[in-house]
Amino acid sequence: MKVVLAEHYGFCFGVKRAIEIAESSKNASTIGPLIHNNKEISRLKKDYNVETLNNIDDIKSIKKAIIRTHGIPKNDLKFLKKNGIDIVDATCPFVTKPQQICEKMSDEGYDIVIFGDKDHPEVKGVKSYAKKGVSVVLHVDELENKIFSNKIAVVSQTTRKIDEFMKIVNYLITNHKEVRVFNTICNATFENQDAARNLAKKSDIMIIIGGKNSSNTKQLYNISKEFCEDSYLIESENELEKEWFKNKINCGVTAGASTPNWIIENIIGKIKEI
Amino acid sequence: MKVVLAEHYGFCFGVKRAIEIAESSKNASTIGPLIHNNKEISRLKKDYNVETLNNIDDIKSIKKAIIRTHGIPKNDLKFLKKNGIDIVDATCPFVTKPQQICEKMSDEGYDIVIFGDKDHPEVKGVKSYAKKGVSVVLHVDELENKIFSNKIAVVSQTTRKIDEFMKIVNYLITNHKEVRVFNTICNATFENQDAARNLAKKSDIMIIIGGKNSSNTKQLYNISKEFCEDSYLIESENELEKEWFKNKINCGVTAGASTPNWIIENIIGKIKEI
């Protein structure tokens, strides 16, 4: 069996940057998991004593807070400042952008539409920067009963698919006079997705590595599944099952934007053993 | 044979308004044809002595100028003012809007994309309000080799189809960070188009009445032709041919936005005679 890695995979710019920031902030605590990868978070705890606080109310015990790649809501940031906590901002610059857009457009009187998952931490953070009249949607039908002013600004969660974003945008433009569209989808996501698609077409089994709660990893899995029925999403080499690989000739491997290289290498080693 | 008029047809708000303005501006001259309908222009000349100047350099002979529904280029307006001509503005307010948008967005540093026909008087007028970096396109492939700044504003010629506008917009949004979309397509055009489509589906012959150089009339004809093979575009009852109506049961009639009711009534009368 031949094992081939996707042309683009794994850590994006924002995640690499956040890990470097965490590594140089020994003994600090992140507000929520720094990135969507439990194994990397354990490594940072072990090697750099970087803790993860799951509840912002627990900050009483800490001195230095690292803001995660996904950002945090505006009020949480205020709360940290009010409590005199040192802040190290590891928010991905591609996430800071839609936060700033939301704030500015809101100030200028635009209604805000965010294309994304309302429960995703990035979206919660971005949403918090809009003053009023903000809608978070994933599907066009969620827009149908909403009443907007004639000025609408639209941003996207950074890890969404452009085709789906365009459906939302098309609906808004067709029905409203002015729509200000900010394409805040991250190129790294595109690149990993395109590479996964190309590889899936040539593979008879695809292994997608990444956090099971990671939005971009799940999307890689969905894209892969479209072109290669035998696609599997795993977090570690222990989940690999021998029988998946029976009679397979070409095995493709890709990884979500929060997956460190050392995990990918472990898994490829194990596949080759099988 | 049954003759049925489309639910929406003929004169739009802007054209009705322009004719009223012309009727109350006796002895004035329009710069270019007031609307795209030669017969109505002859009527205005006969009943109100409203002349049509085809060349702006001929203004020496006039005192009062009527600006046509499509508007005129900014420099032509300046030229009229410089020559002390009284100006009566019959520009359709739905055309003034993209002119203003072009000017404002251009001032704010946006590159301007106009979706429309570069030779159409409305588009020439709108384009003249952009300072620099303005592209007029009808198809996505015309955008492919253009280099834009990261801030683009898009407007449409008022009489274009939304589906085609969206193709341009989708291309821009996919490839650029900020696209400010102004849907300047006029509802009257939509309404006439929807009604023509509905009627064509139920008809075995369609008569589309309007100027042969009128963009919106040609579009009504194209839409009609999609659903009813026997569609004919005519300007007057003299063009009707008996044999078109052989064995036909349902005849649909619609008219472009610059077609006066008296012409429509003449044609329906003639069809009923046949």
Q: Decide: B199 and B206 in contact? Cβ < 8 Å.
A: yes
List the beta bridge partners of residue A191: none
- Confidence (pLDDT) at B25: 95
Of the candidates B170, B177, B182, the beta carbon closest to that of A182 is on B177
Please determine, for residue A195, whether its predicted confidence score (pLDDT) is greater than 90.
yes
Min Cα–Cα distance to chain B from A106, Å: 15
- Confidence (pLDDT) at B206: 98
- Confidence (pLDDT) at A150: 82
Q: What pLDDT digit, counting tens, does each position of B255-265 carry?
A: 998 888 889 99
Interior angle at CA B48, CA B45 and CA B50, nearest 5: 50
Q: What pLDDT digit, counting tens, does each position of A108-130 carry?
A: 999 999 999 999 999 999 999 99
- Confidence (pLDDT) at A269: 95
Q: Is B174 on the interface with A (CB under 8 A)?
A: yes
Quick check: is B20 catalytic? Answer: no
Structural tokens at position B183:
């849907």
**Euclidean distance between CA atoms A172 and A156, whole angstroms:** 14
Q: Is A210 helix (H, G, I), strand (E, B) or coil?
A: coil
- Confidence (pLDDT) at A69: 92
Nearest chain B Cα to A156, which residue? Answer: B177
For residue A235, what pLDDT band results from cuts at 50, 70 and 90? very high
- Interacting residues of B259 by C-beta distance below 8 A, sequence separation 6+: B9, B10, B11, B37, B40, B209, B210, B211, B217
A162-175 and B162-175 helices cross at what angle (nearest 10)?
140
Q: Decide: B207 and B253 in contact? Cβ < 8 Å.
A: yes
Instruction: Calculate the dihedral angle through the C-alpha atoms of A12, A17, A20, A24, rounding to the nearest 10 degrees.
Output: -160
Structural tokens at position A139:
């599907």
B179, B185, B186, B189, best to mutate vs chain A, most A CBs in 10 Å: B179
Which residue type, as a one-letter code, is found at position A260?
P
Min Cα–Cα distance to chain A from B84, Å: 36
Straight-line distance from the first to the last Cα atom of chain A, in angstroms, rounded to the nearest whole number: 10
Of the candidates B162, B165, B179, the beta carbon closest to that of A181 is on B179
Q: Which residues of A93-130 are buried (b: 16+ CB within 10 A; e: fewer)?
A: ebbbbbbebbbebbeeebbbbbbbbeebbbbbbbbbbb
- Confidence (pLDDT) at A253: 97
Q: What pLDDT digit, counting tens, does each position of A143-184 carry?
A: 988 888 889 999 999 988 888 999 999 999 988 989 999 999
Which residue type, as a one-letter code, is found at position B87?
I
- Confidence (pLDDT) at A11: 86
From the list B7, B51, B122, B239, the catalytic residue is B122
Instruction: Calculate the dihedral angle through the C-alpha atoms of A19, A21, A23, A25, rounding to the nearest 10 degrees.
Output: -140
For residue A233, what pLDDT band results from cuts at 50, 70 and 90? very high
- Confidence (pLDDT) at B150: 83
Nearest chain A Cα to B169, which residue? Answer: A170
Structural tokens at position B5:
């008029």
For residue A13, what pLDDT band results from cuts at 50, 70 and 90? confident
**Euclidean distance between CA atoms B18 and B13, whole angstroms:** 9
Low-confidence ranges of chain B (pLDDT < 70): none
Sheet holding B2-5, edge to edge: B2-5, B250-255, B205-209, B231-234
Q: Which of A74, A82, A52, A75 is nearest to A65 (CA)?
A: A52
- Confidence (pLDDT) at B117: 96
Min Cα–Cα distance to chain A from B69, Å: 21
Nearest chain A Cα to B101, which residue? Answer: A178
Given an 8 Å threshold on Cβ–Cβ distance, is B176 in contact with A183? yes
Structural tokens at position A163:
């085709």
Ordered DSSP codes for chain B: -EEEE-SS-S--HHHHHHHHHHHTSTT-EEES-SSS-HHHHHHHHHHH--EEESSGGGGGG-SEEEEPTT---HHHHHHHHHTT-EEEE---HHHHHHHHHHHHHHHTT-EEEEES-TTSHHHHHHHTT--S-EEEESSGGGTTT----SEEEEEE-TTS-HHHHHHHHHHHHHH-SEEEEE----HHHHHHHHHHHHHHHH-SEEEEES-TT-HHHHHHHHHHHHH-SSEEEESSGGG--GGGGTT--EEEEEE-TT--HHHHHHHHHHHHH-
Please determine, for residue A189, whether its predicted confidence score (pLDDT) is greater than 80.
no
